[in-house]
Amino acid sequence: MRNRLTPARRTRFAARLLLWYDQNKRDLPWRRDAHDPYRVWISEILLQQTQVATVMPYYARFLARFPTVRALAAASLDDVLKTWEGAGYYARARHLHRAAQEIVARFDGKVPPTVDELLTLPGIGRYTAGAIASIAFNRDAPVLDGNVTRVLCRYLNIADDPKSAGTQKELWALAEELLPRGRAGKFNQALMDLGATVCTPRRPLCSACPLNRSCAARRLGIQAQLPAKHQKKTLPHHQVAVGLIWKRGRILIAKRFAKDLLGGLWEFPGGHQEKRESLKQCVRREVREELETEVHVEDEFAVVEHAYSHFRITLHAFNCQWVRGRPRAIGCAEYKWVSPRELSRYAFPSANRKIIAKVMGER
DNA sequence: AACACGTGGGG
DNA sequence: TCCCCAAGTGT
């Protein structure tokens, strides 16, 4: 390990950070709820790759709907997904549901306190296990997230790709080494708060940083260039067409397979446009393949742009008349005819919700 | 080890 | 507009 810190420097690091935290910590709902491991767990899952401001309303709504591990375990996955609707990364919701059932079965309904036990639950990786163990149970467990990575890379001028296995190992070791025994919960949150509010990705506020005097990157004036980022691939762009298929005031929706992208969510039947195929032909073909029924494709109803993390779609929605054949789920898990107002009971991906908004607006 | 997995906000 | 990215995990 290249970066070995002297005991004195470790102590100073923690002392300055904790003092800063006492005066600058954010007042967040899950901090008030830190005595309840279930709430800490929910907050940590919601916060994965998601900003605090986005999480806030979901946190309140989720806990109002599922106040305990047992309530979550007893709920249907559809209800859980509906509560998660719009938050993204829906595997988090599926894992949460499954983990709640495992906690009831294996841990008497209580979130386990140790990193090793937490790691056996779906959706809980090394970061989340450390966060729950330290924040809810004050165990001496380190965390390494995007914030901690940024703070440490800058503080110690670590210029290697932070995603690489070697650097990861080094960073975890450092997070562990810096941890003041008996105060892990506070220390970890302090480190993350510092990264979120002071040691920010762009234009860090070094003058407000409690660690600025001993920060290696700042001394060199290269704060903003760390941590190193690896090159991103350009996003593919797809044309997608879906059908708003009407029959006697009801509309046909299909449920996606659990394992797929947006698994377990509902959508309007349709899919990717193939080469040498018009968007109308695309809807017809997809509906035939997905539901073994025929539709008459009429006018285009709406066009929605939507960016995912790894591709971008232009989603074309067509008004369609159901022609003949009984729908039969082939390429989807399930289908249903629902009235427009019933649409709000089902969890849809963001792109489809924009179309629903138009459907409701036009009625 | 690299990729897949969502979404909304900010510069 | 476009690009970046935000308290990661699973495969």
- Tens-place pLDDT, residues A256-285: 998 888 999 999 999 999 889 999 999 999
Render A162-214 in DSSP notation, one character per residue: TTSHHHHHHHHHHHHHHPPTT-HHHHHHHHHHHHHHTS-SSS--GGG-TTGGG
* pLDDT score, position A308: 86
* pLDDT score, position A235: 78
CA angle at A58 for the pair A55 and A59, rounded to the nearest 5°: 80
Question: Cβ atoms within 10 A of the Cβ of A82, count?
Answer: 19
Backbone phi, psi, residue A160, to 5°: -70, 160
A290 is catalytic: no
Pick the closest to residue A59 from A47, A69, A49, A73 (CA basis): A47
* pLDDT score, position A2: 60
d(C-alpha A186, C-alpha A193), whole Å: 10
d(C-alpha A319, C-alpha A297), whole Å: 6
d(C-alpha A66, C-alpha A59), whole Å: 10
pLDDT digits over A2-58, tens only? 666 899 999 999 999 999 999 999 999 999 999 999 999 999 999 999 999 999 999
d(C-alpha A195, C-alpha A205), whole Å: 10
Q: What residue type is assigned to position A49 of the chain?
A: Q
Distance A357 CA to B2 C1' (A): 37
Distance A260 CA to B3 C1' (A): 15
Greater confidence (A98 vs A326) lies with A98
The nucleotide minimizing the C1' distance to residue A260's CA is: B5
- Judged by average pLDDT, the poorest of A30-34, A76-80, A300-304, A305-309 is A305-309
Distance A6 CA to B6 C1' (A): 42
Backbone phi, psi, residue A354, to 5°: -65, -35
pLDDT of residue A1 exceeding 60: no
Q: What are the structure tokens assigned to A126, written together?
A: 């090394």
Q: What are the residues facing A251 on neighbouring strands?
A: A246, A338
Greater confidence (A2 vs A212) lies with A212
- For chain C, which bases have at least one atom within 7 A of a protein Cβ? 4-10
The nucleotide minimizing the C1' distance to residue A231's CA is: C4
A267, containing H or E segment = strand A266-267
Q: What is the mean pLDDT of residues A238-247?
A: 94
Residues with CB under 7 A from strand B: A 49-51, 53-54, 86-91, 163-165, 202, 233, 260-263, 306-310, 349-351
d(C-alpha A272, C-alpha A283), whole Å: 9
Q: Which of A44, A267, A286, A290 is catalytic?
A: A44
Find the length of chain A: 363
Q: What is the mean pLDDT of residues A57-76?
A: 97
Cα A306 to its chain centre, rounded Å, is: 17
Task: Identify the structural domains of chain A with CATH numbers, from first to last.
Answer: 7-225 (1.10.340.30), 237-361 (3.90.79.10)
Please give, one letter per residue, the 3-state secondary structure of A43-57. HHHHHCCCCHHHHHH
Residue with tokens 């054949």: A325
pLDDT of residue A326 exceeding 90: no
Q: Is A149 helix (H, G, I), strand (E, B) or coil?
A: helix
The nucleotide minimizing the C1' distance to residue A230's CA is: B2
Distance A298 CA to C6 C1' (A): 41
* pLDDT score, position A3: 64
Task: Name residues whose C-beta falls within 8 Å of residue A352's C-beta, 6 or more positions apart in sequence.
Answer: A242, A266, A267, A268, A315
Distance A88 CA to B9 C1' (A): 15
* pLDDT score, position A233: 72
- For chain B, which bases have at least one atom within 7 A of a protein Cβ? 1-9, 11
